[in-house]
Amino acid sequence: MGLQNAVLNGFKKSLVFGLVGVTVTDRYAGVCSIRGSSMSPTFNPSPGSFADDYVFLEKFCLDKYKFSHGDVVVFSNPINYKERCVKRIVAMEGDYISDTKGAMKVPEGHCWVEGDNSAFSSDSRIYGPVPLGLIRGRVTHVIWPLERIKKVDRRIPQDRLAF
């Protein structure tokens, strides 16, 4: 009887911690791995390295779409919703972005994202403005590997905005 109670109590505690964990990672914060070189040198700065960077993802910004220029965000790819992308917001709704075709106004409810390593990045230059509803969170810190723990800076590439 004592073993059965211990197992049942352990199961209950695991279930509660699991539900709390899912709620926290779904609504407030989480951890995400970054793979690829499109955001190098911000993430994965060593070419050919097999180690991914792991980042802290804050989700309070999703409440009222509180994003700003230079934020690094994780979002669902507008072409393939199952794929997650990590890019930097270069322009917000109402901004004009310059590209090879001239200047384009970012539509309401959208943002323009680009990778820091533009030569190896599939971003808004390919699939256009990203709806704010596809954003899953804002990257605030690199938390792994240990030697790369740091706050992620907001950098705004000035040459991309057209005024």
Dist CA 81 CA 11 (whole Å): 35
Give the H/E segment covering residue 91: strand 84-92
Q: Give the count of beta carbons closer than 10 Å to the beta carbon of residue 136.
A: 16
Q: How far is CA 30 from CA 4, 38, 83, 109, 115, in A?
A: 34, 21, 17, 24, 21
> Which sequence positions are flagged as catalytic?
38, 87
Amino acid at 148: R
CA atoms within 13 A on the CB side of 38: 17
Could you tell me if 135 and 112 are in contact, meaning their C-beta atoms sit under 8 angstroms apart?
A: no
31 beta partners: 56
Query: Which candidate, 120, 121, 119, 142, places its Cα nearest to that of 54?
Result: 142
